[in-house]
Structure 1
Amino acid sequence: MRKLSGIFLVGLCLGAIGAVVVTASHETAASQPVAVSEVVTTMSESPVVSATPRPTPSSKATPKPAAEPPAELPRVDAAAVDRLVPGGEVSAVVFDRQRGETTVSVHAERGYTSASLVKLLIALTVLERGGPTASVQRMLSRSDDDLASQFWSTYGGPAIVTRWAAKLSLTGTRPPEDPGRWGDTRITAKDIVRIYQYLLAHGPSAILDALRDATERGSDNFRQYFGIPDAAGTRPWAIKQGWSCCRPTRTLHTSGVVGEDERYIVVVLSEHPASVDYATGSKRVTAVVKTLLG
């Protein structure tokens, strides 16, 4: 009996020790993190682990300051514009595309010879009829007269002007009296604005691309950054310029779009006495545009 009791006591002690070891191992396993991976199950399977969702971050964000509206251009009267071109003639029109209205109109229907501005109509005609895009862009960006003359002869000459004047209701635009002199086409600032409105709404993108890429020097080495480019500052622009002399006056025109999203169509046409050199005339046109843009 004593032997059996001793054996029995030893067994109880060993059992107790084993229970403590098993319990300790379970607690240790339970304290370890559980890695949960996303598992695709079939319809017959059910997920074994249901992870506790993390708290959803607050949807409130620090409000951004409201963007300031673009500054409006100043209102300009005719006398202020006229004073900047002494002894000559000047016309200026600004059309705000965002507001859908003309904000400046100074002698908008006064007639001028077009010089190279007629190249806009030549470009529209050539591209409409499948002509060479690269050459049209060079004609515009570098104001290349040789290409303009080739296109003028090939694509209809004066009929180019007559057709677009009818299509766009250009009331002050007409072909040159001498059919071979495309630069003597008659234009008005009001009509040039209508041409840009058409280009922006319906024209081939290649034309505006070329106007954005206008080079500082034209194909004849004339500096064509007077007017809009010199006055626009950091605002984006796309331009078509014109210059000629002297039948009998010196002509300097700047036209194009200015601002983000081509907001403003700006056209300044001018004639100066032949005694006024190009450098002086260019500065005067730039001063007019600075007045328009503020």
Structure 2
Amino acid sequence: MATVTVRRPGSSRLVLLPLTLLAVLFAEVALPGERRAAAGGRWASEVVPAVVAAYGQDGTIAVAVARQQERPSGEPVRGYEARRIRAAGWSADNGAPAATPIPTASMVKLFMAEDILHRSRVGLLSLTRADFAQLQAMIRHSDDPAASALWVRYGGGRMVSDVAARYGLAGTTPPTSPGQWGSTMTTARDLARFLSLLPVVAHPADAGALMVWMRTATPVAADGFLQRFGLFGTAPPLTAVKQGWMCCIGGQRHLHSVGVIGHRVVVLLSAAPRSVSYEAASAALTAAAAALPPPRHS
């Protein structure tokens, strides 16, 4: 039986207020907020068992969902990051599978793009037009040669370590073989946290660029692989998605799909025996994504 773990950040309290004012604030603000949080938590917890059940028995799936955070306009990036870095919003996942490290395949390209844009933003490196073209190709077309060139040029595993530190990704580590970027390890829980916090940790322009590239992912990857599986095969048009696939670490075929649907982050990471074809593995992940119920609240 699938287990579901639901997490929400703790709520702050008002103190030393007159009793009447406190009662008004509680009636007008706290209760609606609690109802919204409870509704969001119910939606999140309903998603996980539905997706796991729809995946089938040919492999294993790690599922994590979260709400993507928003930084209020006008508030400094550093100030908001300091308050929100450890609060990724309510989230739910299927427990141990979502917390177990798994090879990223092309999911690592999200970490690479964010880190390269961040270091350029703070003056640690200068990007050329060719760099920007490779960044875009790496995300939209899942272009492996572009990723390999950027991996070598901008520090390899250091990019993974830097992102893990800035976003608090406890299960994300660089590959043991420095050149094998697809062997970077992460968890469904970490990817959900990363995409949840992206708008508040990254500079708005950098987060926006990454989301646009994800929204304009192409149906066919640079290597000819069909990307319309998982969330890309079921979500509404212009949903921000990233797909990943690889074979065969530990005799396993990995297919991954992540997306931001409205304000909802959904992460689906799967592993199946090598004997399971890409077609069958893709169909299973698409069936899992199709089981997503519509969110009740944005």
TM value normalised by structure 2: 0.68
8 Å Cα contact 1:237/1:256 also seen in 2: yes
Q: Which amino acid aligns with 2:141?
A: R
Match of 2:215 among 204, 212, 215: 212
Q: Which runs of 5+ in 2 are unaligned?
A: 1-38, 70-87, 121-125
* Correspondence 1:1-294 to 2 at 5 A: 75-76=46-47, 78=49, 81=52, 84-97=55-68, 100-106=89-95, 107-128=97-118, 129=120, 130-131=126-127, 132-203=131-202, 204=206, 205-232=208-235, 234=236, 236-247=238-249, 248-258=251-261, 262-293=262-293
Aligned-partner SS, 2:46: coil
Question: Cα–Cα, structure 1 residues 164 and 73, in superposed 2: closer, same or farther, change >3 Å?
Answer: closer
* More relative contact order, 1 or 2 (CA 8 Å, 6+ apart): 2
Aligned-partner SS, 2:55: coil
Q: Which runs of 5+ in 1 are unaligned?
A: 1-68
8 Å Cα contact 1:240/1:254 also seen in 2: yes
Q: How many residues align?
A: 222
Quote the offset at 1:195 in angstroms: 1.4
What residue in structure 2 maps to residue 57 of structure 1? none
8 Å Cα contact 1:257/1:263 also seen in 2: yes
Identity %: 36
What residue in structure 1 maps to residue 77 of structure 2? none
TM value normalised by structure 1: 0.69
Which is richer in helix? 2
Deviation per CA, 1:137-179, whole angstroms, max 9, x where unpaired?
Answer: 1110000000100111111111111111111111000011101
Structure with larger Rg: 1
Deviation per CA, 1:206-255, whole angstroms, max 9, x where unpaired?
Answer: 111100000000000101110112222x4641111100011221000000
Quote the offset at 1:181 in angstroms: 0.2
What is the distance in 2 between the residues matched to 1:239 and 1:148?
17
8 Å Cα contact 2:44/2:91 also seen in 1: no
Of the structure 1 ranges 96-105 and 215-224, higher mean CA displacement relative to structure 2 is found in: 96-105
What is the distance in 2 between the residues matched to 1:173 and 1:154?
21
Q: Which amino acid aligns with 1:213?
A: T
What is the distance in 2 between the residues matched to 1:225 and 1:186?
24
